[in-house]
Amino acid sequence: MERRLYEASVRGDMPALKTLMEEDELILNRVSLTCFHETPLHVAALFGHVDFTRALLRRKPKFATELDSLGRSPLHLASAEGHVEIVRELLLTSPDACQIRDQDGRTPLHLAAMNGRVDVIKEHIRAQAESTRQPLDHGDSVLHLCVKYNHFDALKLLVESVKEKDFLNSKDDDGNTILHLAVLLKQMETIKYLFLVDGFKEQANMENADGFTALDVLEHYPTRELKSMEIREFLLQAGVRRAQDLGTLQPQSQINVSTTVIPITETGGLIDARGNLLMAATLTATVAFGAGINPPGSVWQTNYMENPDINTGISVFAKTQSNSYAHFLAWNTVTLIASLIILLLMISGIPLEHSVWNGFTASSWPLLAMDSEKVTEVTRVGWQNVVAKVYQQESGQCLSHKSSCFSTQTPKLIRSLAG
Closest among 232, 229, 240 to 203, alpha carbons compared: 240
- 287 burial via Cβ count (<10 Å: 0-12, 13-18, 19+): middle
For residue 202, CA distances in Å to 29, 41, 105, 219 come to 57, 47, 32, 21
Looking at residue 392, its pLDDT comes to: 54
Looking at residue 43, its pLDDT comes to: 95
Separation CA 62–CA 169 (nearest Å): 38
User: What tens digit of pLDDT does each residue of 39-85 get?
Assistant: 999 999 999 999 999 999 999 999 999 999 999 999 999 999 999 99
Looking at residue 290, its pLDDT comes to: 82
Estimate to the nearest angstrom the gap between the alpha carbon of 301 and the chain centroid.
50
330 against 248, higher pLDDT: 330
Q: Is 174:142 a contact under the CB 8 Å cutoff?
A: no
Separation CA 90–CA 86 (nearest Å): 6
Closest among 141, 40, 51, 129 to 91, alpha carbons compared: 129
Strand partners, 299: 315
Q: Is it the case that residue 20 has pLDDT exceeding 80?
A: yes
Query: Using 50, 70 and 90 to split pLDDT, how confident is the model at 351?
Result: low
Query: Using 50, 70 and 90 to split pLDDT, how confident is the model at 399?
Result: very low
Query: Using 50, 70 and 90 to split pLDDT, how confident is the model at 398?
Result: very low
Separation CA 232–CA 119 (nearest Å): 34
Looking at residue 190, its pLDDT comes to: 95
Looking at residue 358, its pLDDT comes to: 59
Looking at residue 321, its pLDDT comes to: 73
Looking at residue 412, its pLDDT comes to: 45
Beta carbons within 8 Å of 45's beta carbon, 6+ residues apart: 53, 74, 75, 77, 78, 81, 83, 86, 90
Query: Using 50, 70 and 90 to split pLDDT, how confident is the model at 14?
Result: very high
Looking at residue 16, its pLDDT comes to: 94
Strand partners, 315: 299
72 against 339, higher pLDDT: 72
CATH topology of domain 165-244: 1.25.40
Query: Using 50, 70 and 90 to split pLDDT, how confident is the model at 374?
Result: low
Looking at residue 331, its pLDDT comes to: 80
Beta carbons within 8 Å of 113's beta carbon, 6+ residues apart: 121, 142, 145, 146, 149, 151, 154, 158
Looking at residue 227, its pLDDT comes to: 86
User: What tens digit of pLDDT does each residue of 375-391 get?
Assistant: 555 455 554 554 455 44
Q: Is 246:214 a contact under the CB 8 Å cutoff?
A: no
Q: Is it the case that residue 235 has pLDDT exceeding 70?
A: yes
CATH hierarchy code of domain 1-134 = 1.25.40.20
User: What tens digit of pLDDT does each residue of 249-260 get?
Assistant: 444 434 343 333
User: What tens digit of pLDDT does each residue of 153-205 get?
Assistant: 999 999 999 888 888 899 999 999 999 999 999 999 999 999 999 888 888 99
User: What tens digit of pLDDT does each residue of 272-300 get?
Assistant: 566 777 788 888 888 888 877 777 766 66
User: What tens digit of pLDDT does each residue of 83-140 get?
Assistant: 999 999 999 999 999 999 999 999 999 999 999 999 999 999 999 988 999 999 888 9
Separation CA 124–CA 302 (nearest Å): 82
Helices (H) and strands (E) in the chain, counts: 22, 0
Q: What is the b/e burial string over 114-132, where b = at least 16 CB atoms within 10 angstroms of the residue's CB?
A: bbbbbebbbbbbebbeebb
Query: Using 50, 70 and 90 to split pLDDT, how confident is the model at 356?
Result: low
Looking at residue 46, its pLDDT comes to: 95
Q: Is it the case that residue 325 has pLDDT exceeding 70?
A: yes
- Counting every residue, how long is the chain? 419
Tell me the pLDDT of the chain averaged across its residues. 78
Question: Cα angle vertex 87, ends 132, 104, to 5°?
Answer: 55
Question: Cα angle vertex 145, ends 142, 147, to 5°?
Answer: 115
Query: Using 50, 70 and 90 to split pLDDT, how confident is the model at 12?
Result: very high
Q: Average pLDDT of 219-227? A: 74
Q: What percent of the chain has pLDDT over 70?
A: 70
Rounded to a whole number of angstroms, the distance between the first and last alpha carbons of the chain is: 103
Q: Average pLDDT of 329-347? A: 82
Radius of gyration of the chain (CA): 37
Q: Is it the case that residue 362 has pLDDT exceeding 70?
A: no
Q: Is it the case that residue 268 has pLDDT exceeding 50?
A: no
Separation CA 56–CA 20 (nearest Å): 12
Separation CA 409–CA 394 (nearest Å): 8
Looking at residue 388, its pLDDT comes to: 53
Output the pTM of the full model: 0.60
Looking at residue 171, its pLDDT comes to: 92
